Amino acid sequence: MKSKVSGLMFLVVILIVSMFASIAGAETSTVGTTGKYDLGDYSLYANIQGVSNGKPTVIFESGYGDDSSIWAGIQSVVAQHTLTVSYDRAGLGQSDNVSENKKDAKDQVKALHKLLNRAHIPGPYIIVAHSIGGTNARVYADRYGEDVAGIVFVDSSFENQEEALYEALHEAFPDPVDYDAFIAAYTGQFTVEGSHETVLESLNQAADTVKHDPLRNIPISVITASQEQISEAFKSVWFGFHATLASYSDFSKSVTAENSGHYVMLSEPQLVINEILNLLN
């Protein structure tokens, strides 16, 4: 009789332990809420909207110097369809700052991956990336490709853009004094997320991913702005860059934002939303 009681008590203890373990597991896997997340030596701010419903989570990746608020209008719409996350990279918005040597694409991608884990954001992800954020999306796909369900490139940067830009500026500013002044202003603007050299390093890191062909089987949409180009010659080159970017995937779509300059998500938000939902569905 005593052995039966002991056996019953043991079973009860096992059930209680299992119950608390299940509760603890459920708590640790709960999707996080909007706020700052500790990554160890600094914290990043994430704006989390929508609910996880079995569809991919949409991650918004901003251009240089832009915080998560740049996506406010689009995120609120997309969040009606799935879980969404926009965030402030280090040194922007409500996030903590870090040293300049932690602000190239590889470092920012590692930080984003850690942030998504800290906030228990389920994959796979559709990354919506503007400008230099496009290099981060490509590096993310190269490093964590199994987590990426699609990418929307919004007038993305491209690895050869600096050479083409300088050539176009030579034509636009034939006077050497004017040219030098413009170049100084252009390169000098890169302060909040590392220097111009940091940007060049990120572009090189994106170029390095091509040898691994990480985008080949990932559905992508490449949106190109048609307005506010430096010149018609540069516009042609810019569209050529994006055609090359689209060629990196066997499941790509090219879209022209006819009425937009670089900030397509502000001037033609519905176009960007449509491309996100197309990939989502």
90 to each of 17, 103, 223, 281, how far by Cα in Å? 41, 8, 26, 32
How much is the mean pLDDT over the chain?
Answer: 89
| pLDDT tens, residue by residue, 102-119 | 789 999 999 999 999 999
Residue 29's pLDDT is 59
State the fold for domain 32-280.
Rossmann fold (3.40.50)
Distance between CA atoms of 130 and 196, rounded to whole angstroms?
A: 18
pLDDT exceeds cutoff 60 at 251? yes
Alpha helices, DSSP H only, in 192-268?
196-208, 232-247, 264-267
Alpha-carbon gap, residue 86 to 84, rounded angstroms: 7
Q: How far apart are CA 71 and CA 73, in angstroms?
A: 6
Question: Among 108-112, 131-135, 166-170, 242-246, which stretch is predicted with the lowest mean pLDDT?
Answer: 166-170
Take residue 163 and report the two structure tokens written for it. Answer: 């050479």
- CA 58/CA 50 separation, integer angstroms: 10
Report d(CA 153, CA 137) in Å as an integer. Answer: 8
Residue 100 pLDDT exceeds 80:
no
Q: Which amino acid is at 109?
A: V
Contacts of 94-103 spanning 24+ positions with Cβ under 8 A? 94/36, 94/45, 94/67, 95/36, 95/42, 95/43, 95/44, 95/45, 95/67, 96/36, 96/42, 96/43, 96/44, 97/42, 98/41, 98/42, 100/194, 100/195, 100/198, 103/193, 103/194, 103/198
Cross-strand bridge partners of residue 38: 43
pLDDT of residue 49: 98
pTM recorded for the entire structure = 0.87
CA angle at 68 for the pair 66 and 69, rounded to the nearest 5°: 90
Residues of the chain above pLDDT 90, percent: 71
> Of the candidates 147, 140, 134, 156, which has an alpha carbon nearest to the alpha carbon of residue 57?
147
**Does residue 114 contact residue 42 with C-beta atoms inside 8 Å?**
no
Answer for the pair 152, 127: CB distance below 8 angstroms, yes or no: yes
CA distance 134 to 202: 10
Overall size of the chain counted in residues: 281
pLDDT, tens digit, for every residue of 39-92?
998 999 999 999 999 999 999 999 999 999 999 999 999 999 999 999 999 999
Q: Where are the domains of the chain?
A: 1-30, 32-280
pLDDT tier for residue 24 given thresholds of 50, 70 and 90: very low
Mean pLDDT to the nearest integer, 133-146: 98
